[in-house]
Amino acid sequence: MIETVVGKRGRGKTSLVAEIIAKQKRDQIFIFDYCGEFRDFAVPGFCYVVNTGFREFCHALWDNSREGVSTLLVLDEISIYGKNNYLVEHIYRLSRHKGIDIISTAQRFRMLPVIVRSQSDLFRIFQLTEEGDLQYLKNYVSPEILSVIMRLDRFQYINLSL
Predicted local confidence at residue 65, as pLDDT: 93
Per-residue model confidence (pLDDT) at position 162: 80
Burial class (CB in 10 A: 0-12, 13-18, 19+), 148: middle
CB contact set of 57 (below 8 Å; sequence gap of 6+): 30, 32, 48, 50
For the chain, which residues make up each domain, given as ranges?
2-160
Tell me what pLDDT residue 67 has: 84
2-160: in CATH 1.20.120.80 = no
- What phi-psi label fits residue 30: left (phi over 0), alpha (psi between -120 and 50 degrees) or beta? beta
* Per-residue pLDDT reduced to its tens digit, 91-105: 999 999 999 999 999
Residues facing 125 on adjacent strands: 6, 158
Query: What's residue 23's pLDDT?
Result: 92
Q: What is the pLDDT along the chain (162 residues), one digit of tens a residue?
A: 999 999 999 999 999 999 999 998 999 999 999 888 899 999 999 999 999 999 999 999 999 998 889 999 999 999 999 999 999 999 999 999 999 999 999 999 999 999 999 999 999 999 999 999 999 999 999 999 999 999 999 999 999 998
